[in-house]
Amino acid sequence: MKIVIGSDHGGFRLKSFLIHALTLKGHEVEDLGTDSSDHAVDYPDFAAAVAHKVVADPTTLGVVICGTGIGASIAANKVAGVRCALVHDGYTARMAREHNDANVLALGGRTTAEEVALDCVVTWLNAIYQGGRHQPRLDKIAALECPLGSAGK
């Protein structure tokens, strides 16, 4: 599975750790920046870069990281076709895939320990979307992206 990953300065350290760990596990990881924790950058820029890549290539999954994961997840979810989930443990990571078919995972570089974050990503990658009763809910989420707003039908 190819993974694209991006962070702001608050997520840079965790991003570096995850790139190393996931590469060791055999994943192809593309780093979309930022390149340092030394100067402040804006998390929407990196979340958007990841989100657009994921939407362009459905075989790709994305990881976005900022200090808390909150801003990055909000930004990523503005891109049509993205279902970004902010997770904090293995359970929420597994649910993000099984129930929500999240194609982007958000993590907090200042809130989540490295090994917990790695467990989140690996659990999410290995989980399988369950479909069934969850699909109409995802269809309603997708409908929210429609300019004419067909949600609620």
Under the binding rule (CB under 6 A), the answer on residue 10 touching ligand RB5 is yes
The encoded tokens of residue 6 equal 């991006």
Smallest gap from residue 109 Cβ to ligand RB5 (A): 7
φ/ψ of 63, rounded to 5, equals -130, 130
107 forms beta bridges with 65
* Polymer length of the chain: 153
Contact status, residue 23 vs residue 30, Cβ threshold 8 Å? no
String of contacts with ligand RB5 for each residue 13-52, x by CB under 6 A? ------------------------------x---------
Among 54, 66, 85, 121, binds ligand RB5 (CB under 6 A): 66
Of 66, 84, 88, 120, catalytic: 66
Does the annotation count 146 as an active-site position?
Answer: no
d(CA 64, CA 85): 10
Placement of tokens 């443990």 in the chain: 89
> 64, 54 in Cβ contact below 8 A?
no
Give catalytic status of residue 27 as yes or no: no
**Residue count, binding to ligand RB5 (CB under 6 A):** 8
Min dist CB 42 to ligand RB5, Å, is 9
Whose Cβ is closer to ligand RB5: residue 6's or residue 10's? 10
Lookup: tokens for 91? 């359970």
Binding site for ligand RB5 (CB under 6 A): 8, 10, 43, 66-68, 70-71
Q: Which residues are catalytic?
A: 66, 99
